[in-house]
Structure 1
């Protein structure tokens, strides 16, 4: 009897058939087999359908309701099967053993069902909170695309990655990290382009209203050729919207739209979307993933401030340092300082560490971790992310992310020593040329006594695997 109860739980419908409810049992068994078969088929043969499912709040709600109904139905089948196969003349002890077994089986069904429903609802909450439908969000710079085939005429997708947050020692938000990810939509090959936080004279496109205000870039000519921290790249997110509110038109994040236009003009690429990361959310995301593993090639400061701005109290030394070593496992707090620490270091070194942090974050997001910690990851994602990517584009973006997983990720070297030895007047024209050379290497004719041949000029790129390897100085 107990064995039949277990079999009836593992193969829903068998217990009903043995207990005499043949038609009902056959129907339940057929439905169970059909559901399993459909799941296997969709997972193997229709992965795009799975992608469309996990990024659709409406479909996720249907899945959650379906899981609840399946779980309740499965428990009912277990109880009903036990009642049918249980002898009417059973003594008290076997009866109690059977009831206990039914309770254990029901709990074994309810526990994973509840966890699955909770994960589905967390995913739905995350998608709904971060990625708004196009009709419910406003952007002054977002392109119009055909969501059914968004990459039809778009060989490159350019996404602006912004990192930064407010603090007790500053007013508003400073985007300390500004990076462009240029993704080949056919191959998934990704080029990362980092901009220095202290660049001045950031340009605007000729057709932008901001170009009329700042025809020579974002700076104040009346102050002369000196350092102007309030006209640095990292101050644009806060200062431009304050000085010219609404100049770009209706938008939910004017600071991000300002940077999309200006960064796009600086590197010579049309910026499609932005993704903004907060420091607090970043720390929680790293902790939710169980930490990240990086190579540390030199001491990296924790904290510290030069105290150069107006109203500051002078320099403040770091509270400690991340010490050099290979394969260092960092929690969220230390990973944040690995990416942001700059006291005594230059911006190019910090930009390199930021790119290595992104690579480590991608490597940490393995399937086992995502399943085990999904609710914490989703909660951190809600605090960490802000974007103008429309919800309708998510299926195509997830498919592109799969290509990126297998494609190379490289760093574009903008030649700091030559093109921006200081932040006052970067050579934006040379920077644009380097970016185009990296994304689209061209052949140049080379004279030869016998014939003329073509050689490809090497692109100024570096593999992230090489950049982030352990090579202490």
Structure 2
């Protein structure tokens, strides 16, 4: 028992065995290390976050963890050899050796698990986030000392990339902007409709000279032009106008940062591109999400080929969804009237559900799986040097309000052929300045349809329709 105690407070077993000088040195070092660790965890948490996002520091942590584990095993084994009675029976010696072996195994396995998580974290940081050699034509310069000093709002472009089987290249069916107050963490989500045409470019950019009236074909006015939709820009523009985008690792994302930012009147600082297949893996790694479902949501189905969905996600409060069903909750649109807007609303609720699910305990428990999913899921131009500050901002976002900015479909884009971007910019500016524009009058609830039928999504009128906590609540028809 004294030998095992020597692992909890290294050096005490040496003192008990009469090795006072060696025991005093090891015990003193152990107490100093434990005290230093406690000080860092309790007082310098921000530094801990910074270190956990620095690849070089993470490598040092991996080596340090291995050294500490090996040292503990050596201390335990040598302490047992010094303290075990010389005159003992075989069974007593075997019992003591078994106890020491179990403790050594516990130390080794615990250290191995910690090392695996550190390796996964380092791999995630180095593979996903931009390093010194990464290139971007739209990424801003940042103040290393205080990135938020002169940046009241951080604007992130969120892209859902659908490059699955049967698709010709990457199509961004989901385009959303998250505007985050860097002081409070309050976040506003703005969804863009995938069939927007005439998407504008900044007047000082060469792409504006190519498309002075927006991205569309003026020779076919009033017609649907799928190759000029917002969801086709990522795929179609870079091959023809690559030289106008400068040096960049992701020209399609830079195109959308420029155009979406101009359409909304915002400077978009970074993009985060989500691979939909990786999204399923991420939700699975988190252990699923919980959402309220107010109407049947199709799982699968193809409008163009007239293929019905295999099943429907049934309405109900606090529905537990696995990764596959969460993906279809976010993207299902088969024959749902107002499909794009309904899907955008569910996507915002999905983001909210993921934020709520990503508790520190849950993330730590499933960290290896989450990190592996993140490598498949995320592509971004966020620099590694900003990760520590973003982690601190993310903690604020988790406890702050998340709301929606309604761009007013009825007034500003009855269809996608000629959206009123000036009107949208006015709405966004007022909302972010703290003066939300007057929302459209909510529709009257429709009768509850049969679960196997497509439905018109309905929501309960709210005192604040922009509040996601209310719009994502359970409001059955």
TM-score of the two chains, using structure 1 as the length reference: 0.93
Shift of 1:210: 0.7
CA contact (8 A) 2:184 2:400 kept: yes
Partner of 1:172: 169
Q: Equivalences for 1:121-136 in 2 at 5 Å?
A: 121-133=119-131, 135-136=132-133
1:60 partnered with 2:25: no
CA contact (8 A) 2:430 2:436 kept: no
Distance, in Å, in 2 between the alignment partners of 1:130 and 1:92 is 56
Partner of 1:371: 364
CA contact (8 A) 1:413 1:460 kept: no
Deviations 1:362-390 (A, max 9, x none): 11112222122111110000000000001
Q: Secondary structure at the match of 1:424?
A: coil
Shift of 1:201: 0.6
Where structure 2 has 5 or more consecutive residues not aligned to the other structure, the ranges are 438-462
CA contact (8 A) 1:293 1:328 kept: yes
Partner of 1:276: 273
CA contact (8 A) 2:465 2:471 kept: no
1:323 partnered with 2:314: yes
Distance, in Å, in 2 between the alignment partners of 1:236 and 1:243 is 11
Which residue, out of 409, 420, 423, partners 1:427? 420
Distance, in Å, in 2 between the alignment partners of 1:7 and 1:47 is 29
Shift of 1:85: 0.8
Partner of 1:148: 145
CA contact (8 A) 1:437 1:460 kept: no
Shift of 1:5: 2.1
Q: Secondary structure at the match of 2:145?
A: coil
Deviations 1:5-41 (A, max 9, x none): 2222222111111112112112222222222211211
Partner of 1:294: 291
Distance, in Å, in 2 between the alignment partners of 1:207 and 1:70 is 57
1:338 partnered with 2:338: no
Distance, in Å, in 2 between the alignment partners of 1:256 and 1:20 is 68
Bigger drift between 46-55 and 36-45 goes to 36-45
TM-score of the two chains, using structure 2 as the length reference: 0.92
Deviations 1:228-263 (A, max 9, x none): 111110000001112212211110000000000000
Where structure 1 has 5 or more consecutive residues not aligned to the other structure, the ranges are 308-313, 445-458
CA RMSD of aligned residues (A): 1.5
Distance, in Å, in 1 between the alignment partners of 2:275 and 2:232 is 16
1:261 partnered with 2:258: yes
Q: Equivalences for 1:403-414 in 2 at 5 Å?
A: 403-414=396-407
Q: Equivalences for 1:207-246 in 2 at 5 Å?
A: 207-246=204-243
1:4 partnered with 2:8: no
Across the two proteins, how many residue pairs are aligned to each other? 450
Q: Secondary structure at the match of 1:201?
A: coil
Deviations 1:383-413 (A, max 9, x none): 0000000111111111111111221111011
Which residue, out of 173, 190, 206, partners 2:187? 190
Shift of 1:270: 0.4
Q: Equivalences for 1:21-32 in 2 at 5 Å?
A: 21-32=19-30
Distance, in Å, in 1 between the alignment partners of 2:399 and 2:303 is 41
Which residue, out of 381, 384, 390, partners 2:374? 381
Distance, in Å, in 2 between the alignment partners of 1:244 and 1:6 is 68
